[in-house]
Every structure is written in structure tokens, then in C-alpha cells.
Amino acid sequence: MSTIAAAATSLTSTGEAVQFWILGTVAVIGALATILMKKAVHSALSLAGTMIILAVFYLANGAYFLGVVQIVVYTGAIMMLFLFVVMLVGVTAADSLTETIKGQRWLAALCGLGFGILLIAGIGNAGITHFNGLGRVNSGGHVEGLAQLIFTKYVFAFELTGALLITAAVGAMVLTHRERTERAATQRELADRRVRDGVQLPPLPAPGVYARHNAVDVPGLLPDGTPSELTVNQTLRARGQIRDVSGQALDDLKALEQASSERLGREEASK
Amino acid sequence: MENLIALLVAAPLLGAVVLLCGGRRLDKTGHWIGTLFAAVSFGVGVALFADMLGRGAEDRTLHQFLFSWIPVEGFQADIAFQLDQLSMTFVLLISGVGTLIHVYSIGYMEHDERRRRFFGYLNLFVAAMLLLVVADNYLLLYFGWEGVGLASYLLIGFWQHKPSAATAAKKAFLVNRVGDIGLSIAIMLMFTTFGTFAFGPVLGSVGAETSVAAAPVSEGTLTAIGLMLLLAACGKSAQVPLQSWLGDAMEGPTPVSALIHAATMVTAGVYLIVRSGAIFNGAPDAQLVVTVVGAVTLLFGAIVGCAKDDIKKALAGSTMSQIGYMILAAGLGPIGYVFAIMHLVTHGFFKAGLFLGAGSVMHGMNDEVDMRKYGGLRKYMPVTFVTFGLGYLAIIGFPGLSGFFSKDMIIEAAFAKGGTQGWILGGVTLLGAGITAFYMTRVMILTFFGEKRWQPTATGAVQQDGTTARAVSGHEPAASQHGSGEMPHPHESPKSMTVPMVVLAFGSVFAGGFFSIGDRFVNWLEPVTGYAHGSPPVSALTVTAATMVVLAAGVAIAWSMYGRRPVPVVAPRGSVLTRAARRDLYQDDFNHAVLVRGGEHLTRSLVYVDHSLVDGVVNGTAAGVGGLSGRLRKLQNGYARSYAVSMFGGTAILIAATLLMRAV
Amino acid sequence: MNPVNYLYLAALLFTIGAAGVLIRKNAIVLFMCVELMLNACNLAFVAFSRMHGNLDGQIIAFFTMVVAAAEVVVGLAIIVSLFRTRHSASVDDASLMKL
């Protein structure tokens, strides 16, 4: 705290400068990774990293409360919610980075560049040189200072955020809740329907039943040697994570023959 | 008494409604109903006339206000009637001759299965014509004017199964439209100038040289109104240049030709001009044009009448010519108005009589209309011969008969116009009298004298000129009885036809004398139209003598050409003038070349402009908007990210603008 | 070092987040990018707080976090229901106002 108090000038300490340049670089890399990573999970993790670095920056700027809240609420709660939804939604074609809208990428790049340049030019143009620092306002205790503001000057906004949170919680429930409008089908009805449809009468084959492998990502082989997709979990199928081992036996045989012929050749040569 | 005026119009109108809405159940009695309503109208007219005679000259104008037609602030149109001596004259002529022709039609249309409808149309015509003459404002007059146009259209095209009749009806209607536009423009001009249409204020303010608006109406305005009224009169009265429809209108049944296209409707133009005399008095230029139109038509009709072999078309040319006399007289101003009306009335008698006589002849000759195929009919149709002959003597102006008095007055008045104009107009009227004598003598000789040149009817029904196609409608019993290839058997017409002819012949003989002796007619009309005695540069006696000489010459020439040697059944080729006259002096060719071709070219060029320019602009706009929309639609692709780009770009622009504002 | 660099960093992160919103199709990733933008704003607020020497900026950042939390809850619920109906988390698939 003394560091911050002393830095009531327009310059920071060397330590903070070093910290800024190192962590700032990492934060930008994390942000870029967020938008460029193919898989949503990776994006989420990158974003979490960036947020932690931002928390550090909050601390460096004298916002101790916010820094802790950033880590606990954002990184800890919100990002976990993201990960949870990523898991729930699963992997879809939406993860593809190929652009489908014509010219979208060019326009995005143009707008992004223009916007960034203008924003940075604006900040530079503002001619901010003097930083007062928070030494004076933190003198009575940082959290106490915040609390005094929140419960006096911003008390109505604070109350409103409470209402907002409740509304959001109810809204989320309403949005995701599905009223069951019909009676759930009983076992008998399900069995009847399966017979009626005639698509797949017996239970689905287990993975690896007709094969030499019993891993869940390996499809079972049909009598003619072709893999049966039915034997693999639907999610794995959607992700394209099926390991095809139908050619495995032949490959093994070929390798065996080659090895034996090599050995025979070597034996003959040694003769 | 003035409450009876409405009945004049209402009775035949009621007849028309009853007959046209009554349906087939009135087929047996329809003609009697129609005649009865026309007779009621005539009776009311006579009663009103008797009442009018019982009053002094100054209180003879009656008014009847029925109801307010268009009660708008600043635009007041009433259904109101005015009956003065001028209107009275017309009322008696229309309802009287109209009733006679109703009676005649009972016999003439006896075998037409649509006779009830015919009488309905006739009643409609009488109602409209009476409305025209008793209206007390120009708007109501216009109503009647259009009404007679409609009735004329319906009656010319009465035998609508004949293409020639249907075409003639359309032609009459279209040509009349041109004149009607003139009348409507004249009425609009009156309204803007005087703020009203009523006869009283309009004509009174002109006569008083101070309008209602306290500012004298300029002569230019009056000339414009006058010329527009003249255009209207030209259309309705078949004057040059709108004369072309009258000859074709003879496609209608002969009673129609007699009533509408000889005696009454075609004289509506004369009525209009005389009625609007105050306006013409204030516009000498317009008056001059009126006299010129009258003079030209007078000669035009006469020349056409000389060459036609179709008896009705010859009479139609004569009608045109006689109305030319009236228009000319009306153009002379106060010295001529009275004589125009007087000639109109006498002409109504003798021309209606002549047409009825022609109808009677056709009736006896299997509907043959070609005079070259008549000849020697005086022995077979004595009544027709005598009445037709009296009408003939009347029209050529044989001394003592009606035409003599009325036409002689017009000739005198034309000379009395004074100056070069007077000599020219007088000369024209004199020449016209001679030609009239020629062509009427020709008609007379060809029809009633000479050898029998009767030709067998071709097939009774199918004849090239379509005149006997009427037999199809069951009208003509003779044709169906005689069958094809039979000679006609001329016979006298039934009583219902001859009686009206006799009555009209009486009118032809005595009306002129009755009117002229003691200047009765002049005194009668003078309060309305005004009268100024015109003195010809030479004595009236000299004029009369000159007229007699010209008349005798015309008769003599006709006799030498047609009476002394046999008349060929097939018309000889004739001179250039004859051929031109046979083709109505190329009026249709002229109209076709100038109006039809011109109209076609105008239409084509307009269509071209429409296609290339207007449609081009419209289609171009549509294509432009469509193309732009197509482009813009691409922006609206539904992808949230595209919209986000737009928002983001917009934000960037906002920042740029903010920075720029700070920099400035 | 001048603390204004924090503002530059915030601007950079915000722009990156915005670009991510524009180029990613996965609704979840897109949402993460929005969060990144919000965080960049928070950083700027904190830096402004330091600049002005009062805590109001931090209060605003605090409220931003609360609103962001609420937004994430609702947004993720929308994504989940969207996935349920369309079996896809791609925002491009939801380009029509019907299924």
C-alpha cells in the first residue's frame, strides 16, 4: 500500500512496470488465444488466464477488493459456468473457424483495426499525464471506503443490481425449464414403438463385441469386417473420435509376414 | 298555370319509364301508351298556349321552380323551368309534330317486334327535347341537350342488327360529343364570368351592358362564349364542320328521321343561338362566324342533296341546307332571330311531312330507298303524292305556301345585313333557294313522275345496302309476302300514316301565311328575341322577284334533266361535282384523313412516348429500386455477426467523429 | 512507466474481444469475447479510479461485474435453450426467425 501511496505521481515504480510489461503481454496473448483457439474449452481456459492477470492488474492499481472479486467471482464462478455450458452443449460444427459469411472476416478486420487505432489515438490524444493515486481515499481503509460509497451514494444502484440478479436467476430458470406436456412413455410403450418402427429391435451392440478391441472408441466389426457405427457412443460419433481398427488385423498379418520374411532372409543370408 | 310546365316534361318521361321498364306485357299496348303520353304533353302545351295568349305581352313569361338540384355555396343549380314565347313555340312544335309522328309510327312500325321499345325511346326523346326548351338555366338545358343526344343515338341505332345503323349511331354520338364539349365549355365560361347559369341573370346582364359583378363583360369573353355555343350548335344541328353524321343518321327508322333529324332535335342549335341572342348581340365577331357557318352549310347541304339517289339522304342534305338558312338568320342578329325561328317552325312542318311521305313511299316499295328505282308513283299513292307535293312546294318557296314566307324573309334579312357582307349572304341565300328548287324538283320527278323503274327486290332480306335487312326484324310484311325476286306492289299506306301526313301538309301550306299576315309571328316573339326591321338595299319586292326567278330556273333545270328524258336506273358516273357530292363532298374522307389518321399518328407517337419515356422512367425506377433492394437485402442476411459488424463499424465512425470534433 | 499504459492495454483487449465477437461462430466463445470486452472496460475504470484518486471508478467496475454475472446467467440459459431447439450452438444457424 505504501508503494501505491508513494506513487501519487505520474509514474509507477519499476517493479510495477516490469510486472505490467510481462503480464500485459501474457494477457494480450491470452485474449488472442481466446478468439483464435478452435475448441471452446481452450478459449475458456485462455480467457480465465487473462482474467487472472487482470485481477493482478486491479491489485496493482489499488483495487484490492475488485481484484479478489475478479478472481473469486469471474474466474472462479463465471468461467466455471462457461465450462459447464461447454460441456453441456458439447462439441458441434460451430467450433470450425472457417468463415461462412462472405466478406465478414475482412470487414471484421477492417473495423477492428480502425476501432483499435481510433481508441488508442483517442487515449493518446486525451493527454493524460497526471495520476492522483488512491493514497488519500484508501487512508480510512480500502474496503471501508468502498462500502461507504456503495451504501450511501450508490445505494439505489446497489439495490437495483440485487433485483437484477434475482430477475436474471428467475429468467435463466424460465428459459431453460421445459414443461412436460405429455406423459412419459412407459417401458412397454417404448418397446412397442421400437417393434413398430422396426429400426433396431435388439439392444444396440456393445463396442468391440465383434472385434479384438474393447475400448469405447473402437467400433465393433460386422461379419464382413466393416465397422459398425452403432457400437460407438453418439457423442464420440459426433466428435468424429472413432478409432477405426477394421484394417488392423490385415496390417498385423502383413507386418508378421514381412517380419518373418525378413527373418527368413536373414537366416538364409547367414547361411 | 305555371305548375303545368313540369307536366310537359314529366308526361313523356313517365311514358318512357313505363314503356322501357314495363317489359313484354306492354308489347300489345305500348304504342298507344307512348302516343297517349305525347298527346298529354301536347294538350298541356296547348292549354299553356291558350293561357299565354290571354295575357299581355309583358307577363307571358312563366317560371316554375321545382327543386334545388345542386345547392352548393357559390354554385346553385336548380331544376326550374321558364316558359316564354320562344319556348312555347318550340313546345308546340315538338309536342305537336311529336304526337303526329307517334301516330304515324303506330302504322309504320306495326310489324317490328320491338315497337314498344321504339315508342319508349320516342317518348324519352320528346321529354328530353321539351326539357331542353323549357329549362331556365344552361345547366338544365345541357341536361336536355345530352338527353336528346342519347335518344338520337338509341333511335338511329334502333335496328342495331344492321352494322351500318350501329356505326351511324356511334358516329352521330361521337360527332355530337365534339359539339357537347363546346356547350360545356361555354357553360363553364358563363359560370366564371357571371357566377350563374340561369338565363335571366346571364342574358339580362349582357343586355344591360353591366354584369351582376358590376363590371362590364368584355367582348372577348362574349365572343369566346358565342363561339363555343356555335360549336355546340354545329354539332347538334349538323352544320359544317360537324355535319357528317346527319346523312348516316338516316339509317334510323323514317319517323325518327322526320321527328329528330328534320323537325326538332337538329334545330336545337338554332334554339340555342336564338336563346343566347343577347350574348351574340354583344359579340359581332361570333355573329359573323355564325353567318359564315350558316352560309357554307346552306350550300354544302344543298349540293349534297342534288346528287344523292337515296331519297332519305337527299332529304337529309336538304335538312342540313335549311338549317343552314336558320343559322345564317340567327347570325344576323335581331333582324334575323324571328325569321330563323319562323323558318324553323315551317320547316318542321314541311320537312317532317316530306320525310313521312318518303317513309310512306318506302313502305309501299319494299323499303327501296333508291329514287332511281321509283318513278310514276303518283297514281299508286295519291295521298302520299299530294301531301309530299305540298311539302315540296312549301320547301322550294312556292308563293303563298309556308316556305315562301319564311325563306323570303331570311333572304331579305340577309340582304339587309348591309354592305358587302349583305350582298354576299344575300347572294348565297338566293343561290341556295335555286338549288333547293332543283334538288327538290329532282326528288319529286324521280319519285312520282316519269316511267316506272321498279326493280324486283333482290332477296327480300339480303340486299347489299342493308336497307331491306329490316325485313329480318319482321317489320316489312310486303317483302316476306312477295318473297324474293318479286316486283314491288306500291300501295297507299294505312290511315295512321296518312293522317299525320295530311295534318303536316296543312301546316306546310298555311303556317307561313298565318304567321306572316299582320306580322303575327314577329309580334309574338319580339318580347323575347327582340326585333329590328332590316331594310334590304333593294326593295323587298325585288328580292322576292329575284327569288322567284331563281326558283323557276332551278325547277326548269331539274325538269330538263330528269323530266324530259328517261332516267337511267343505274346512276351515271356524272361530273366531278356530282361524284364529290355523292360522297358528301368528301366530308368523311376529310375527317378520316385529318382526324382519324391524325389521331392514329398522335396515338402511336403517344404510345411510343409512353413506352419509351414514361414506362422507361417507371420501369427504370422500379428496376433501380429492385436492384438496390436486392443489394440491400444482402445486408439483411439474418446473421447476427453481420449486424454486429455494422454496429461495430458505426461505433468506430462515432469515435472518429468525436475525435474530429475535438480536433477542430 | 506511465499508468496510462493500462488504458492502452484495456483498449487493446477491448478491440480483441470485439474482433472475436465478429469472427467466431460458436455462441459460447462469442459470449466469452463479450466478457473479455467487459473486463477490458473494468480495467479502464480501475485505471481511471487511480487517475482521479477516488473510488467511484471501482464502484462502477463492481457494478459492471454484477451486471455481467446476471448477463452471463441469462445468456448461457439462452444458449442452452437455443442448443436444445437447433442442436447447434452456432449463431449463423440461427439466421432465420423460424426453425
Give per-residue pLDDT as tens, C6-62: 999 999 999 999 999 998 888 889 899 999 999 999 999 999 998 888 889 999 999
Does C91 reside within a domain?
Answer: no
CA B45 – CA B88 distance, rounded (Å): 8
Pick among A97, A100, A104 to test the B interface (most B CBs inside 10 A): A104
In a domain, C97, yes or no: no
What average pLDDT score do residues B621-649 get?
A: 87
Nine-digit cell string for A213: 478391441
CA A144, distance to chain mean position in Å, is 36
A123 touches chain B (CB under 8 A): no
Q: Which residues pair with B171 in a beta bridge?
A: none
Query: Looking at the complex, does the CB of residue B549 fall below 8 Å from at least one CB of chain C?
Result: no
Residue C31 lies in a domain: yes
A89-137 pLDDT per residue, tens: 776 545 677 777 888 888 888 988 999 998 888 888 887 777 777 777 7
pTM of the entire predicted model: 0.62
Note the pLDDT of residue A94.
54
Which is more confident, A97 or B485? A97
pLDDT of the residue at A76: 87
What mean pLDDT is predicted for residues B335-350?
Answer: 91
For residue C26, what are the domain limits? 4-86
Asked whether residue C41 is domain-assigned, the answer is yes
pLDDT, average across residues B459-473: 41
Tens of pLDDT along B344-368? Answer: 999 999 999 999 999 999 888 888 8
Cross-chain Cβ contact C95/B644 below 8 Å: no
How many other β-carbons are positioned within 10 Å of the β-carbon of residue A184?
Answer: 7
What secondary structure, in 3-state letters, does B447-475 show?
HHCCCCCCCCCCCCCCCCCCHHHHHHHCC
Q: Model confidence over B283-293: pLDDT tens digits?
A: 889 999 999 99
Closest Cα of chain C to A55: distance in Å?
9
The pLDDT of residue B539 is above 80: yes
Structural domain includes residue C98: no
**Domain assignment present for C68:** yes
- Asked if A231 and A219 touch (Cβ cutoff 8 Å), the reply is yes
Nearest to B338 by CA among B531, B93, B84: B531
Phi and psi based region of residue B62 (left: phi greater than 0; alpha: psi -120 to 50; beta: remaining):
beta
Which residues of chain A does B636 touch, with a Cβ-Cβ cutoff of 8 Å? none
Dump pLDDT digits (tens) for B189-209: 988 888 888 888 888 776 554
For residues A80 and A77, what is the distance between their CA atoms, to the nearest angstrom?
A: 5
The count of structural domains within chain C is: 1
Residue range B359-416, pLDDT digits in tens: 999 888 888 888 888 888 888 888 999 999 999 999 998 888 888 888 988 998 998 8
DSSP of chain C, one letter per residue?
--THHHHHHHHHHHHHHHHHHHH--BHHHHHHHHHHHHHHHHHHHHHHHHHHTSSHHHHHHHHHHHHHHHHHHHHHHHHHHHHHHHS--BTTTT-SS--
Q: Mutating which of C8, C14, C22, C90 best tests the A interface, going by the most A Cβ atoms within 10 A?
A: C22
Q: Which residues of C touch B638 (CB under 8 A)?
A: 95-97
How close A203 comes to chain C (CA, Å)?
Answer: 25
In a domain, C93, yes or no: no
Coil vs helix vs strand at A98? coil
Residues above pLDDT 70, as percent of chain B: 94
Kindly tell me if the per-residue pLDDT of B274 is higher than 60. Answer: yes
**Are residues A107 and B645, on separate chains, in Cβ contact within 8 Å?**
yes
Show residues of chain C in contact with B659, CB under 8 Å: none
**Number of neighbouring beta carbons within 10 Å of residue C87:** 12
Q: Is A113 on the interface with B (CB under 8 A)?
A: no
Which chain A residues touch C86 with a CB distance below 8 Å? none
Q: Is B594 on the interface with A (CB under 8 A)?
A: no
Contact with chain B for residue A112, Cβ under 8 A: yes
In sequence order, which residues have a C-beta less than 8 Å from that of residue B414 and are 6 or more positions away?
B328, B329, B332, B336, B422, B425, B426, B428, B429
As a whole number of angstroms, the distance between CA B360 and CA B376 comes to 15
Q: What is the CATH number of the domain that holds C29?
A: 1.10.287.3510
Give me the residue label for grid cell 316558359: B83
Question: C22 vs B648: CB contact, 8 Å cut-off?
Answer: yes
pLDDT on residue B470: 42
| Average of per-residue pLDDT values in chain B | 86
Rounded to the nearest angstrom, the minimum Cα separation between B607 and chain A is 46
Q: Which residues of A touch C37 (CB under 8 A)?
A: none
pLDDT of the residue at B211? 43
Q: In whole angstroms, give the CA distance from residue B500 to residue B544.
A: 31
Chains that touch B (3 or more CB pairs under 8 A): A, C
Give me B635's grid cell: 445486408
Interface of A with C in 158-177 (CB under 8 A): 158, 161, 164-165, 167-169, 171-173, 175-176
| CA nearest to B469, candidates B477, B478, B460 | B460
Alpha-carbon distance C65 to nearest alpha carbon in chain A (angstroms): 8
**Which H, E and C letters describe B570-591, residue by residue?**
CCCCCCHHHHHHHCHHHHHHHH
8 Å CB contact between B187 and B231: no
Measured between alpha carbons, how far is B354 from B352 in angstroms, rounded to an integer?
Answer: 5
Is residue C29 situated within a structural domain?
yes
Contact B118, B370 (CB under 8 A): no
